[in-house]
Amino acid sequence: MNKALKIILLISVINNLCHGQNSNKSLNNDGRFYVYWGWNQSVYSKSDISFAGENYNFSLDNVIADDKPSPFKINIYLNPANATIPQYNFRLGYFINEKYSISLGADHMKYVVRPDQTVKISGQISQTLTQYDGQYDEKDIQIRRGFLELEHTDGLNYVNTELRRQDLLMCWKKVDIQLVSGAGLGILIPRTDATLLNFERHDKFHIAGFGLGGVLGLQFKFGNYFFIQSEYKLGYVNMPDIRTTSSTSDVAKQDFLFHQFNILFGSYFGFKGKNSNVN
């Protein structure tokens, strides 16, 4: 807590010094657009996952999942033809005034239930002609092929709108360092790759639920147009309608927190601010 207070105090001091030295400086934001593209790595909280269908109704407790970042290769990360393969972030925003913007974005994360982990199962499975038929009450079970494989890897798609604020922290020649903060909400459209018991595999896009979250970032703006930005996002995902098999009556549901760490590259375009001063 003391360390956090010191950081907040330092940011406040730098902010006051910068504004004191640049009281007439405008960020040239009002009425402008921005766009960015970048990549993320994500961390997920444990999740209880419930499965329901004609022959089963059971839940798994405290399931662990990981993200699945692509190994860095120039042909994957910098080739436009392969742009959607890595875990990526895209956002288009518009400044409604000098500090505040509204934006629409897509956070393409990947979520993989860790194989071979042992969890608690409760509920019933019947008439599947597998070794897993039976009644369960907080019994240990191993998540493995033949029982369950579950991934949102193409991906855990969070399409969202956000309200963001930008504050100038420091300025040096043609470089502005800005604090970015905001919050938003949206829908989850995962392409879930699921294999459950002996049912036919399912792997199609589907609106599964909603999400919300907040963001804190640091932007390095070069001149009037280009920037590099790092972000931390904390969010909540609730998906009560996950498709798991080819049957529309089969469904899974889960909710969890995610932590997202992003590196982004972007540009400003459009009109300069109403009271803009060229940097």
- Residue 278: per-residue pLDDT: 41
Cis peptide before 155 (omega within 30 of 0): yes
Residues 75 and 82 sit within 8 Å (Cβ to Cβ): yes
H or E segment to which residue 141 belongs: strand 134-142
Residue among 183, 193, 27 at smallest CA distance from 113? 193
Q: Which pLDDT value is given to residue 127?
A: 87
At 49 the pLDDT is: 98
pLDDT on residue 23: 45
Please give the average pLDDT of every successive group of 10 residues along the chain, which has 279 residues.
55 53 63 96 97 95 95 82 90 96 97 97 94 96 96 94 95 91 97 92 92 97 94 97 92 97 95 48
Contact 272, 279 (CB under 8 A): no
Per-residue confidence (pLDDT) for residue 7, from 0 to 100: 52
Helix (H) or strand (E) holding 217: strand 209-222
Indicate the pairing of strand 175-188 with strand 148-172: antiparallel
- Which pLDDT does position 270 carry in this prediction? 86
Q: Which fold has domain 2-45+65-115+148-270?
A: Porin (2.40.160)
How much is the pLDDT for 6? 56
Query: pTM value?
Result: 0.86
Q: What pLDDT does 79 receive?
A: 82
Task: Say how far apart CA 98 and CA 31 lie, in whole Å.
Answer: 8
Residue 257 forms beta bridges with which residues?
236
